[in-house]
Amino acid sequence: MRRSHLDWFRHAICYELGAVGLRTLCTLAVAQIGLGVATSFSLLSTLTVFLLTLSHTRIFDYWLNRLTGSLQKSRRARIWHCLSYELTASLISIPLTLWLLGFSWQQALLRELLMFFAFTLYTYLFNLGYDKVFPTADAPQC
């Protein structure tokens, strides 16, 4: 069973709405910058990562369906989804942090490490909740 284009878009929008606040908190935790700068950077990051969210989840689900014949995610698949997403997001986020915020490598890596752990948990919980609220037709109903 496949998800609709509307569902992919809804997933990405909902995910990124929650992520703006989390990105802002992680940025503020590692540097002495203002809330406005941190929030502006988080919004810009959200726009770039939004494209990743759309594409990553779609690609992951494509391969999951191809390998298992279903979009139902086991705990192992959910963990792989979170880890692969966060590693990809890190490859985008670190250069942006260095360039736009002028962070040192140490600050950028610390921010990214904090974001990796926070977003891995957030991504796992978000997708678990999303799949319960918007299940696919082949997923068991709770």
Provide the pLDDT confidence category of residue 93 given band limits of 50, 70 and 90. confident
> How many domains are there within the chain?
1
Question: Does residue 97 have a pLDDT over 70?
Answer: yes
Q: Residue 118 belongs to what domain range? A: 5-133
Examine residue 142 and state whether it is found in any structural domain, yes or no.
no
Concatenate the DSSP letters of all residues of the chain into one string: ----HHHHHHHHHHHHHHHHHHHHHHHHHHS---HHHHHHHHHHHHHHHHHHHHHHHHHHHHHHHHHHSS-PPPHHHHHHHHHHHHHHHHHHHHHHHHHHH---HHHHHHHHHHHHHHHHHHHHHHHHHHHHHS--TTSPP-
Mean pLDDT of 72-96: 85
Examine residue 70 and state whether it is found in any structural domain, yes or no.
yes
pLDDT of residue 138: 57
Examine residue 139 and state whether it is found in any structural domain, yes or no.
no
Provide the pLDDT confidence category of residue 1 given band limits of 50, 70 and 90. low
pTM above 0.85, yes or no: no
Examine residue 64 and state whether it is found in any structural domain, yes or no.
yes
